[in-house]
Amino acid sequence: MRCTKAIISRENLEFNYKNIKKIVSQDTKICVAVKADAYGHGAVETARELEKLGVDYLAVASFEEGLELRENGIKASILLLSLCTPEDFINLFKYEITPLVFGKEFISLLDACAKSYFSCNERFSVYLAVDTGMGRIGCFPEDCGEEAKLISESSHLKLEGMATHMALSDSVSCEGISYTKQQGEAFKKAVENVKKMGLNPGILSAGSSACAINWPDLHFDMVRPGIIVYGYYPDEITRDYLLSKNVDFQLKPVMTFQTKVVAVRHFKKGMSVSYGRTWICEKDTCIGVLPVGYADGLLRRFSPGLKIFVNGKAYPVVGRICMDQCMIDLGDDSDVKPFDDALIFGDPSSTGCMQTAEDLALLGKTISYEVLTCVSKRVKRFWQ
């Protein structure tokens, strides 16, 4: 079995989920995002663990992601966060996947399809998507009343709730805070427009990870955490920032990405490493070869700068990261031997790896979400 693997911690997943439960009211539902293969952690196994913990909803980004969960025995309610095409409507009904909807044409098409699938008294639950400033999907607040009415007057649809998404809730800038407040007010107006029609707006949901931990006024009836479930803070909402607001919210990274040193080679001064000869030995040294590369999720742009931990010590990656391999400079006095474990990122408190996916994100000028979801399918996940 290939030695490059991702170790997924049940204990850390449970720790994070329970900490989220502590910061929301007892009546607030939790919808965990398991889209993108649970941010690279493995959607099915993650969903199983979350079901054991009593999660209310699971959120996916495509019908296929929801289908994978259902085919593997997941019973929890599933919310589809992206729009699907009419070809998938029947499957939404069949597999009980609740979609976001908006727009008269989309709602009418979905209802017509539901009419051909359900008996005369059955109704299919949907969430009305509201665009309060994300600029992605959803009706505008002023149109919510009419679109909710269209759902209520349809033959086979039922308004289960309303949902919006925040564009800057993970920002601590004055602009970000102001815009998030503006979006929150716009969502409240949207809800009022539905109530003015004499309709029950159902479950209200606005908050992702940043809202869950930093915007209690935006919890409404259901929060939708994603990245914090997997052990990382959302962008500018860091642990230090939360502590400055007297919020002690801790997280533990759930994934450890690791491999092994498969060869230790002696190089003379002037010899080069990897494509393009971008790194040349300035003195005699030892080079460790690792069977992990950008096809596994160790992005090419991480070098130069990336370090990998072997036996508790950091060694720099040298030369360009290849598709399937990379090399580290061990120096001339290293005690590293072939088949020693090499840790790329993980939980510093328990794995011996002194860097996290956030550290790699800073190096690659990206976010932890991308680092995690880039760990490819060929990297086997092991739960423990």
Q: Write the secondary structure of the chain as one string of H (helix), E (strand) and C (coil).
A: CCCCEEEECHHHHHHHHHHHHHHCCCCCEEEEECHHHHHCCCHHHHHHHHHHCCCCEEEECCHHHHHHHHHCCCCCEEEECCCCCHHHHHHHHHHCEEEEECCHHHHHHHHHHHHHHCCCCCCEEEEEEECCCCCCCCECHHHHHHHHHHHHHCCCEEEEEEECCCCCCCCCCHHHHHHHHHHHHHHHHHHHHHHCCCCCCCEEEEECHHHHHHCHHHCCCEECCCHHHHCCCCCCCCHHHHHHCCCCCCCCCCEEEEEECCEEEEECCCCEECHHHCEECCCCEEEEEECCCCCCCCCHHHCCCCEEEECCEEEEEECCCCCCCEEEEEECCCCCCCCCEEEEECCCCCCCCCCCHHHHHHHCCCCHHHHHHCCCCCCEEEEC
Q: Are strands 57-60 and 29-33 parallel, antiparallel or unpaired?
A: parallel
Choosing from 275, 283, 377, 380, which is the catalytic residue?
275
Among residues 5, 29, 35, 260, the one annotated as catalytic is: 35
21 classed as catalytic: no
Distance of CA 381 to the CA centre of its chain: 16
CA distance 82 to 61: 5
Of the candidates 101, 238, 208, 196, which has an alpha carbon nearest to the alpha carbon of residue 156?
101
Kindly state the tokens that stand for 163. Answer: 């949902």
35 is catalytic: yes
Instruction: Give the catalytic positions in this structure.
Output: 35, 275
